[in-house]
Every structure is written in C-alpha cells, then in structure tokens.
C-alpha cells in the first residue's frame, strides 16, 4: 500500500460563512473526522496538496472568486475525483442538480441536518476509499502486465479476448505446446487462478491509464 493511501482521509470544507465552517468542523471532529476548512475556492486551491483523500463539502455560491460549481468543474478538468458534497441555500436546487449531473456526489440544503450531513460524509468517504482501492489494484495489475514478455503479452491479449489455443496457434505461428507454456506463465505472472479471473484483470487494467499498453 502506498503512502498516499495510508494517510488519513480528510473532510475538506469550503464555505464563505465562517460561523458555519466552525460549526461543521466541530461536528465532524466530534464524529472522528479530520477536517480542514477554507473561506474561498482560491484559499482551498492555494493550500491544495495532492493526492487528495477524503471528500469535499462545498458551498454552491462563494462570493469573491470562483464559485463552488466552478471549483468543482476545475477539479474534474484536472481529473481530481475527490467526492464533492454541495451545500446549497434556498433557490440553489437547479444549480445542485446541474452539479450532480456533472459528477458531484450529493447536495445538502442549508441549514444542514446533523445526521444527514454525517451520513453523506460517511458515504462519500467510503466511495473515496473504494476509488483508492481500485486505483491501487489497477496499478498492481499494470506492474504484473509489464513483466510479460512480448510473446506472453500477445498470448494474454488473445486469451482474454476469448480465443482458444488452436486459434492462438494460427495467429502467432507457434506450436500448441508453446502456446500452452506461454499461457501458463501468463497466468502465473498475473496471479490469476482461472481464466475468468484473468479476464476480470484485463477489464480492470483497461479502466486505467495503462490501457494504452494493451
């Protein structure tokens, strides 16, 4: 497990209302969450240190700089997938729906109810944890894939696409015995106990930047 995943998740809070920030920070800290609060999107971006783990509580309307929607859009443009929970005032519901369609995790109306907030934060943190777990699995599978020889890689691609040994023999021009030997080494190097598991591994790798290697 890498150091970024071992770090404790943080609930980031961006809202121009200082009294609300203080109240929410106290509530979250009392529930056992590490929190960091900021009065503006610019302040948050200035303090930003990647990789981010946790979730972001974000006011839709932040005066004097980028709005919450603009901050969210900017994070997405940078492929920062931190779960975002929007805090909305009366009349901001259409904007919140727009944010959900753009990938926000949830939106909560102000004044925020204690249990509703804690439930949303717990769910967002769980999603972020799953995101990190999936990313680490893809990275590990990509490392295993990189250990394959060119011939083993060619066999891997054909096996996960559903080709039988005889079809692979016709494609790569070697004996069936050689294909079986390469196939066995592919299974061993990838750590796959079955063909189905190997196919799932290929699907996971395809969801990562390493897909270009395929």
Please report, for the domain that includes residue 97, its CATH number: 3.40.50.2300
pTM above 0.95?
no
Measured CA distances, 193 to 147, 185, 189, 197 (Å): 17, 12, 11, 6
Top pLDDT among 109 and 115 is at 115
Report yes or no on 9 lying in a domain. yes
**End residue of a domain, out of 136, 167, 193:** 136
State whether 125 and 154 are in the same domain: no
Bridge-partner residues for 14, per DSSP?
Answer: 38, 58
Q: Which two tokens stand for residue 49?
A: 């240190």
Domain assignment of residue 154, given as a range: 146-213
Measured CA distances, 17 to 38, 40, 69 (Å): 10, 10, 17
State whether 179 and 81 are in the same domain: no
Q: What share of the chain is helix, strand, coil (3-state, %, to 5)?
A: 60, 10, 30
**End residue of a domain, out of 79, 109, 136:** 136
Report yes or no on 39 lying in a domain. yes
Measured CA distances, 211 to 10, 38, 80, 139, 185 (Å): 30, 37, 19, 11, 21
State whether 91 and 197 are in the same domain: no
State whether 51 and 81 are in the same domain: yes
**End residue of a domain, out of 136, 160, 194:** 136
The band of 82, judged by pLDDT with boundaries at 50, 70 and 90, is very high
| pLDDT tens, residue by residue, 160-205 | 999 999 999 998 888 999 999 999 999 999 999 999 999 999 998 8
Count the Cβ atoms, other than its own, within 10 Å of residue 33.
19
State whether 42 and 92 are in the same domain: yes
State whether 161 and 126 are in the same domain: no
Report yes or no on 141 lying in a domain. no
Count the Cβ atoms, other than its own, within 10 Å of residue 51.
13
C-alpha span between 17 and 30 (Å, rounded): 20
What is the total count of domains within the chain? 2
pLDDT for 6: 59
State whether 49 and 98 are in the same domain: yes
pLDDT for 12: 97
Whether 211 has a pLDDT exceeding 70, the answer reads: no
State whether 96 and 183 are in the same domain: no
pLDDT for 213: 42
Count the Cβ atoms, other than its own, within 10 Å of residue 95.
18
C-alpha span between 164 and 78 (Å, rounded): 42
Contact between residue 152 and residue 182 where contact means Cβ atoms under 8 Å apart: yes
Mean pLDDT over all residues of the chain?
Answer: 88
Report yes or no on 89 lying in a domain. yes
The distance in angstroms from the start CA to the end CA of the chain is 25
pLDDT for 2: 52
CATH of the domain at 164: 1.10.10.10
State whether 114 and 157 are in the same domain: no
State whether 76 and 39 are in the same domain: yes
pLDDT for 42: 92
State whether 40 and 74 are in the same domain: yes
State whether 189 and 97 are in the same domain: no
| pLDDT tens, residue by residue, 17-51 | 999 999 999 999 999 999 999 999 999 999 988 88
3-state SS assignment for residue 122: helix
| pLDDT tens, residue by residue, 114-156 | 999 999 999 999 999 999 999 899 999 999 999 999 999 999 9
Report yes or no on 168 lying in a domain. yes
pLDDT for 154: 92
pLDDT for 91: 60
């Amino acid at each position: 497990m890498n150091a970024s995943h071992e770090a404790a998740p943080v609930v980031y809070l961006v809202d121009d209302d200082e009294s609300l920030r203080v109240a929410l920070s106290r509530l979250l800290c009392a529930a056992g969450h590490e929190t960091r609060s900021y009065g503006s999107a610019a302040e948050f971006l200035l303090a930003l240190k990647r990789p981010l783990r946790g979730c972001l509580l974000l006011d839709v309307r932040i005066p004097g700089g980028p709005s919450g929607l603009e901050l969210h859009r900017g994070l997405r443009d940078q492929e920062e997938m931190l779960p975002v929970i929007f805090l909305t005032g009366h009349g901001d519901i259409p904007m919140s729906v727009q944010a959900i369609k753009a990938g926000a995790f949830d939106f909560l109306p102000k004044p925020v109810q204690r249990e509703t907030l804690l439930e949303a934060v717990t769910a967002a943190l769980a999603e972020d944890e799953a995101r990190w777990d999936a990313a680490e699995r893809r990275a590990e599978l990509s490392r295993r894939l990189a250990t394959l020889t060119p011939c083993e890689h060619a066999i891997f691609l054909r096996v996960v696409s559903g080709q039988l040994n005889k079809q692979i023999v016709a494609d790569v021009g070697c004996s069936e015995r050689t294909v079986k030997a390469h196939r066995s080494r592919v299974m061993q190097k990838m750590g796959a106990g079955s063909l189905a598991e190997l196919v799932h591994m290929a699907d996971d790798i395809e969801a990562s930047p390493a897909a270009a290697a395929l």
